[in-house]
A and B are shown apart, each in its own frame.
Chain A
Amino acid sequence: MNAGKMVCTACSCLCDDIEIEMENGTITGIGNACRKGSAFLFGSQNEKQRAGYLAKGREVEVESALDAAARLLSGARRPLLFGLDNSTLEAQTLGIELARKLGGVLDDSSSFCHGRLVEDILAGMLPTCTHEQIHDADLIIYWGANPHNAQPRHLSRFSLYAHRKYHEAGVKRHVSLAVVDVRESETAGVAHHFFRVLPGEDRDFIAAVIEGIKGKPVGKDAAEFLGLLEKSRCCVIFAGLGLTYSLDNDFSLFYELIGHMGKWLKPAVIPMGGHYNARGFNHSLYNATGYVNKVSFAGGRVAHGDEFSLLEQVRSRAADCLLVVGADLFSALPASLAALLDGVPVITVDPFYTATAGASTGVLGAALSGLEAGGTAVRMDGTVVSLAPVKTPRHLSDEQILKRLLEKLG
C-alpha cells in the first residue's frame, strides 16, 4: 500500500519526495531515496538497532527511564546538553529551555563543523542564497565537500543537474561545476574543473587567487580558478567540512576572497551541514540567545565562548553529567578525548542504539523524525521544511521526551 510521501532525515538535503510502500505497518518499498536514505529508513525497522529505555544499564519502562534521567540531571552541578542537530525545531526549542532551566551548557556539532559560517550568515556578514536561487548561478563550486557520499542527491535535486539551464550536451555551457578538494572525489569526477589542494593548503590557494585578483602573477591552478570567477556573474559556493578544517575555523581569508568576488559577481555561500537539522539548531539558539552554539546558562545568565564547546567541556572535564540528543559522540570524537568522559553519567536520546547509547547510564529511545514523528526543520540552505510522519511510532518523539523531562524537573 502506498503510504504517501515523506521527508528523509538522513541528511541535510531533507528530500521531500520520498515515497513509502507499507504492508501492515512495515515499510516494504522506498522510492526516490538514495542509498543513504533508504538504508536509514529500512534500518529503522531493525529492532536490534533501535534504542529502548534504559536506566543504569537495565531495561525499564519509559516512565522509569525518564525519572532516572531527570534525577541525574537535577543532581548535576555542571550539566552539559549536546546535540539536537537531529531533532526538530520544536524539540530544539525545548532543549534550549531545558538547558536554561538546568543552568547548564549547551552545544552542538556545529562548534566543530559549520557553526562559524552559519553564524556569519545569520549576522548578515556572509552572502548566501537558497537552493531555489541556484538557477541564477553560472558557476557552482563544491569546496572541501563531496556530496556524493555525504548528501548523495544534492547534485540531482538542488544544484548542477537540477539547474534549469543545465544540459548534458550543448554548444554553450550555461552553468559550470568546479570542485576544490584534497581528494579526486566522485564529485570531482563529474566536475568540469577540479582543483586539487594538499591537506591544510586551502589558505595558500585562496591567498594565491586573491593575489591574482590584485594583478600579481600566480600559479596555474590559481590562475585557472580566477579565470572561472572572472567569467562568472553569479557563483554559489557549497562549503564543506574540508574547507572548515583546512582553515581551522578561521575564515577571514575566505571572506576576503568573497568580498573581492562581490565587486564583479554575485557570490553566495551555503554551508553543507551534515545532520538534517544542524542549521535549524543554529537558527533556534541564535533566536534565543544571539549565539549559534557554545552557550552557558549558568547563574541564570547567557554566556558564550570556546570554553563552552563540547570539545573544551570534555577536555577540561568540566561537565558532571551529559545529556546527548541525537548524536553519537563516542564514535565521532577522538578516542583519547572520549576516554575523558569515563565516570561521567551520560543520558542518550536517540532512535538508534549507538556506541554512545552503549556507554550511557540512561537511554531514551526516540521516534525517527520524518518517518515516525513530525515537526519542522531547516534545510542546509535555510529553507524551513515540514515533516509529516507516515508511520505510527512505538517510541516517544524527542520533542515529547524533552517536554516530559522539563515537566519532571518542575
Chain B
Amino acid sequence: MKLIIVIYRDVFLWSEKYKKDRTDSWEDKAAFVRLAEQDLKALGISGDGKIKLSNSVGSIVVRALADSKGRSGYGFMPVSPLVNRLTSYGEGRLPNFKRIEVTAEATKENC
C-alpha cells in the first residue's frame, strides 16, 4: 500500500529524551505510525501489529496504531532520528519531512 507519512512533534517523546533514568530508548518509543483504521484493516493489521515502511532511501519497522481521526492514505509519525531514515532532501527544496512517500506492508520483523 502507498502511504504519505507526515512528521509531527510530540511533547511526551521530547521530554523522554531528558529523563534521568532513560535507557536510550526514546527512539524505540518513537517507533510508531498512526494510520486510519481502514488502512490498518486493508493491511491486515490488528492490535499491536508491526508495519514496514520503505522508500528509495531506507526502510524502518514500526508499530502501527489506529488513528480514529486519520485519513486513508496518510500516516503520522513523531519527530525522531528513526523517521529520518526515510526522509530526503533535493536541491532547492525543503526536506520532505511533511510528505514522505512510502510503501507500507504488514511485517513480523522487530522494530
Contacts and interface: CB of A to CB of B under 8 A. Distances in A.
B88 A337 contact: yes
Interface centre among B10, B15, B71, B80 (most CB of A within 10 A): B15
A291 to B, nearest CB: 18
Nearest to A188: B69
Interface residues of B, number: 35
B89 to A, nearest CB: 5
Contacts of A135: none
A200 B81 contact: no
Contacts, number: 107
> DSSP class of A's interface residues: helix, strand, loop or mixed?
helix
Given A112-B95, A315-B89, A334-B84, A43 B57 contact: no
A269 B89 CA distance: 28
B8 A42 contact: no
Interface centre among B9, B58, B81 (most CB of A within 10 A): B9
Contacts of A244: 94
Interface in A292-315: 306, 311-312, 315
A277 interface: no
> DSSP class of B's interface residues: helix, strand, loop or mixed?
loop
A119 B97 CA distance: 22
28 contacts: A36-B11, A36-B15, A39-B15, A39-B16, A40-B18, A44-B18, A45-B20, A46-B20, A112-B95, A148-B11, A149-B8, A150-B11, A182-B6, A182-B98, A183-B69, A199-B6, A199-B98, A199-B99, A200-B99, A242-B98, A245-B99, A315-B91, A330-B81, A334-B88, A335-B57, A336-B57, A336-B87, A337-B89
Interface of A: 34-36, 39-40, 42-46, 49, 112, 146, 148-150, 152, 182-185, 196, 198-200, 241-242, 244-246, 248-249, 306, 311-312, 315, 330-338, 355
